[in-house]
Chain A
Amino acid sequence: AQTIHQWPVAEIKAVGSPLSLGCTIKGKSSPNLYWYWQATGGTLQQLFYSITVGQVESVVQLNLSASRPKDDQFILSTEKLLLSHSGFYLCAWSPDWGNYAEQFFGPGTRLTVL
């Protein structure tokens, strides 16, 4: 069975500080990977997607960047946090490429920027 793990579970960071969030998928080779941001009480906004190692495409940047250093790992980062970065960050994966593929979400990381 596939499992998806995100770290850390929660972070409290200062404005202007760097950030790195991670996501690992186990039990599935070459998954399609996605990063989402969910503002408190807000909608889900897809940020990035990746179909293979080293290849990341931006949907909406929000002054964030993403990388896929390994087949099972997806990293979201920024060098300088803004207040507007606060929210819930979700990593997701799908087994197939295509319009009808279901996405499976990880447990998420709650980020508070002060």
Chain B
Amino acid sequence: GDSVTQTEGLVTLTEGLPVMLNCTYQTIYSNPFLFWYVQHLNESPRLLLKSFTDNKRTEHQGFHATLHKSSSSFHLQKSSAQLSDSALYYCALSDQGGRALIFGTGTTVSVSP
């Protein structure tokens, strides 16, 4: 079945340094839809960005990601981390019926001064 893998459980870094969160997926379908959701402490998840176009960079709020179907990846990046980026980040894959989002296990990002 469909699945999403996030290899880092926790990423700790200093403010101003770059961030990269890994996301790979498995699906039998040739047109996957990928999402990044962010959940700050004591809040609900909200959409950060999404893509279904191969090799096209998607950007929002300083973050960017590019869907690479050749490597089944959708890594999230930011050039300079801010304290407010401390949160839980989920990569998600939509099933082909659009009825279910399959989430990865999430990566907690902790940014310190």
Contacts and interface: CB of A to CB of B under 8 A. Distances in A.
Contacts of B50: 100, 102
B98 A103 contact: no
B2 to A, nearest CB: 12
B103 A105 contact: no
Given A46-B101, A57-B99, A105 B44 contact: yes
Given A99-B33, A108-B44, A46 B100 contact: yes
B25 interface: no
A44 B45 contact: yes
A46 B95 CA distance: 12
Contacts of B31: 99
Contacts of B47: 102-104
A99 B44 contact: no
A21 to B, nearest CB: 15
15 contacts: A43-B104, A43-B105, A44-B101, A44-B103, A44-B106, A45-B103, A46-B100, A49-B99, A97-B98, A100-B98, A102-B47, A103-B47, A103-B101, A104-B46, A107-B44
Interface of A: 42-46, 49, 57, 59, 90, 97-108
